[in-house]
Amino acid sequence: MIRTWLTSSGYMLPEDDTYAAMQTWMSWYRGYVADFHRYWVYTGGSKRRTRLTRATLKMAKSVCAEHAKLLINDRVRITCEGFNELDAILARTDFRAQANRLIELAFALGTGAFVEYKAADGSPVIDFVRGDMVFPLCWRGTTVTNCAFGSRITLPDGKRGYYIQLHEQLPGKVYRIRNVYLNQEGKQIPAPEDVQAEILTGSTSPLFQLIRPARVNSVDLDSPLGMSVFGDAIDQLRGVDLIYDSYLNEFTLGRKRCMVPQTMATMLQEKDGIVAPRFDPKDTVFYVYEQSLDGKQDLRFIDPTLRVDEHTKALQQMLDLLSFKCDLGIGRFRFEGGTVKTAKEVIAQNSDLYQSIKRNEQVIESAIFDMIRALAFLSGHTADCTPVITFDDSVFEDDDATATRNVLLVNAGLRTRTDAIMSVDRVDEAIAKQKVAAILKEERGQLDDFPEAD
């Protein structure tokens, strides 16, 4: 509906296959791809077949969530000197949680966006828009100057509708925001009373920032949209689920069974005169076989050997290949005890994952930097403020080694307690000084309680 309205209104949209690819990426992100996870198994004859559902580990979502966790978490610090309202705005919009979610979706769909504007009460607001609702209108290379952002909404009459916010740069370089509302048939309807249909922002810089993984869009090299972090790893995602499904089937098909001769089974005569062995139809252990030619009436046990180790090794190899293809390096995921676990070891600074994180940090830092300047402008401050974004580098450090090194430096008089606490606990100077004061107070208390010598 949104694309149709934009094109019918004279806007030019990217004519590439990225939007179609986004649908495939979203299916893998959700963990169910219809033409792969639903399949037919022939059980004999030309028409006897059974439709099954293939098990999935949903590794596409795990890959994106791992990237988001490494890039945006509670340890990321965002400051801007002179912009005192920043912390309140970020807290009001639940920025860290929403940004983490946006990055996960952006790495799944290849694109995401921060969008800033003023709410009805005049307060700055941040919207977090996923890739399939981002519609570039004017771009050069990967730089987008005009863009539309859509969302599905519920109209006052209770029916579903669509909301489009268009950011356009006018000939005088000033940006204009248009608010457009569509009903469920795609026809434009009046905007709500508390929403202006058109706003001149007074800003010569865009009030939106696109987020794209640091990789080339191989679907369309000229597209302003980004590439999913697992877009080039679809075969590896298939491989993971094929092996995992086979792993689970190994336990289903490899159960121990006992073959019982008919003479040992309780017989039951049915209404039509047919005599059949009587067994619990839900029983998966006992099976009846006819008397053998040699006349033996023995119980026969079938105890297949489970190929657990073979499946585990194969699945681990495929996980390593998937992790490598998705810029997480080799060994990031471990298959243990039937589940996938994330590696906890320290990341070496020369590893593929380290290089990947640093490349993506540059993308995120640039977007957050421009976002803060846009918020400062909307708050009545100068847009020339200099934000500082400090990412969480604890994943590159060994906590035990860091603590031991700081203890040795403090004991040798080469580092203050304050600096050591800041390094080990990753806190700012004010909190570190409070901890030092508490330690000194406790030490003095212990000395006061010590009995004096006669």
Q: Which residues pair with 112 in a beta bridge?
A: 130, 211
Q: Which residues pair with 151 in a beta bridge?
A: 163
Residue in this structure with the two tokens 């400051």, named with its chain if needed: 79
**Spatial distance between the Cα atoms of 149 and 127, rounded to a whole number of angstroms:** 10
DSSP 192: P
Structure token digits, residue 275: 């005599």
454 residues of the chain, pLDDT tens digit each: 899 999 999 998 887 789 999 999 999 999 999 999 988 877 665 555 667 889 999 999 999 999 999 999 888 889 888 888 999 999 999 999 999 999 999 999 999 999 999 888 889 999 999 999 999 999 998 899 999 999 999 888 888 999 999 999 998 889 999 999 999 898 999 988 888 899 999 999 999 999 999 999 999 998 999 999 999 999 999 999 999 998 888 877 766 666 666 555 555 445 555 555 544 545 555 555 555 556 566 666 666 667 778 888 999 999 999 999 999 988 888 888 777 888 766 666 668 888 899 999 999 999 999 999 999 999 988 767 888 898 887 777 666 777 888 888 888 888 898 988 887 877 778 888 999 888 888 887 765 555 555 4
**By C-alpha distance, which of 78, 170, 158, 174 is closest to 126?**
78
Supply the pLDDT for residue 311.
86
Sequence-separated (6 or more) residues with CB below 8 Å from residue 40: 49, 50, 51, 52
Supply the pLDDT for residue 281.
47
User: Is the distance from CB of 333 to CB of 341 less than 8 angstroms?
Assistant: yes
Burial class (CB in 10 A: 0-12, 13-18, 19+), 405: middle
Structure token digits, residue 204: 């010569």
DSSP 171: T
Q: Could you tell me the pTM of the whole model? A: 0.79
Residue in this structure with the two tokens 């769909």, named with its chain if needed: 109
Supply the pLDDT for residue 336.
80
DSSP 80: E
